[in-house]
A and B are shown apart, each in its own frame.
Chain A
Amino acid sequence: MESRRSFLKVAGVAALGLGTTPALKAVAASGEAGGGAPQPQVKKGAKALTAKQWAMVIDTRKLQTAADVEPLIEACNKIHNVPHFNNKNHEIKWIWETEFKHAFPDKSNSFLNESVEHRPFPVLCNHCENPPCVRACPTKATFKRESDGIVLMDFHRCIGCRFCMVACPYGARSFNFRDPKPFIKEMNRKFPHRMKGVVEKCNFCAERLAVGEMPACVEASQGAIAFGDLYDPHSPVRELLKENFTIRRKQVLGTEPSVYYIV
């Protein structure tokens, strides 16, 4: 009897000791961190541009012909290594041009004024305030960034299910059906490209905003596109919205696009 009792005592103490080890270790570790060497940190770049919700106002009156819109598309494709496929089914689009009736099907009358009817409209991801693609993504690969409202993609996490492409009412997302690498005309070595099996789209030049530069299309537009914070009453975007009547694509769906058009 005596040996069983002593065995239980020892076992009990040992179990208690094992149970408290993690707690003791945690206390010891926190003590080290508090008084020891500084820990590595991450932060924003000094020149990074910030906003509550980035927005764009496109003055289509200044972009009358395809020749006016082409440089914007070229600038974007070049910087982001967007491949060019001749097969329409494989097309990758970040920013592209379309007709009024396709851009604004809910605002298109049978008889439009000629200027608007034949004008090329640059269209891109609207970086919606209520993005349906984000709700559709099963892996949270696409998300609305809290810090600046950009609808971004984490290509590492995309599994290529294409739910987001179905959910997006603007056709702003493209799927890499083929390895895009051989179809990139000129590789920008500062920016990654994508692989077969992921979805991609416009990122509002998040990588340029981070170093204090305006988006590539804005820079190439020679003043036709304004870019700024939608919630800053003095931003260039808000100034234009104050002075001009603007429309947005498929506003009736309630996605709250952040790209505005002056027609």
Chain B
Amino acid sequence: MNDKNKIIAGLIVFLALFTFPVWYNLGKAAPAPEVILTEKAKEAKVCVMPTEYMRANHMQLLDHWRHEVVRNAKRVFVNADGKEYTMSLSNTCLDCHSNKADFCDKCHDYASVSPYCYECHIDNPKGE
């Protein structure tokens, strides 16, 4: 037990290195991104479902749409207000939200999710 000083010094160095990422990044957390709406989306005011629901559950809604369109041949969505929409990511969602980089990608990057929708679905259906 004569190496007390060495052990303690070693432990301090170890702890400092081990916790380095935590204190190095302290206070540098990226702010939550604000989604940017296009003029068309602003004008429409409401999405297919209430904004709060869309914000939290758009992925479940899209999964549900996919299932109904592909498997049950039902392509029209009637929301609680009785308004009808064609269930299509490229042709309905991206018609209003045509700014994928500012609307979709920002939050997806922040949340570190990488949905593969755009491997097949066209991300700018209007060709802008």
A interface list, Cβ under 8 A from B: 37-45, 48, 143, 145, 147-148, 152, 154-156, 187, 189-190, 192-195, 206, 210-211
Contact = CB atoms under 8 A, between A and B. Distances in A.
Interface in B71-88: 71-80, 82, 86-87
Q: Is the interface of A mostly helix, strand, loop or mixed?
A: loop
Given A145-B73, A195-B119, A41 B78 contact: yes
Given A37-B80, A38-B82, A187 B75 contact: no
A42 B125 contact: no
Nearest to B61: A40
B80 A44 contact: no
B38 interface: no
Across the A-B interface, the 7 shortest Cβ-Cβ residue pairs: A195-B119, A42-B74, A192-B120, A41-B78, A42-B68, A189-B125, A192-B121
B90 interface: yes
Which of under 10, 10 to 19, 20 to 34, or 35 or more describes the interface residues of B? 20 to 34
Given A189-B125, A210-B73, A194 B120 contact: yes
A38 B73 contact: no
A43 B76 contact: yes
Contact of A39 (B75, B80, B116, B119): B80
A257 B72 CA distance: 22
A60 B68 CA distance: 36
A211 to B, nearest CB: 8
B107 interface: no
A161 B60 CA distance: 27
B21 to A, nearest CB: 35
B76 to A, nearest CB: 5
A155 B74 contact: no
B73 A44 contact: yes
Contacts of A189: 90, 122, 125-127
Contacts of A210: 73, 75
Given A43-B78, A156-B66, A48 B121 contact: no
Nearest to A50: B73
B91 interface: yes
A189 B98 CA distance: 13
Given A40-B77, A40-B80, A45-B76, 4 more contacts: A145-B71, A156-B66, A189-B90, A189-B126
Interface in B23-72: 49, 65-66, 68, 70-72
B122 A187 contact: yes
B73 A40 contact: no
Contacts of A143: 71
A154 B71 contact: yes
Contacts of B80: 37-40
Contacts of B121: 192
Given A42-B68, A43-B74, A206-B73, A155 B120 contact: yes
Contacts of B65: 42
A158 to B, nearest CB: 11
A105 to B, nearest CB: 33
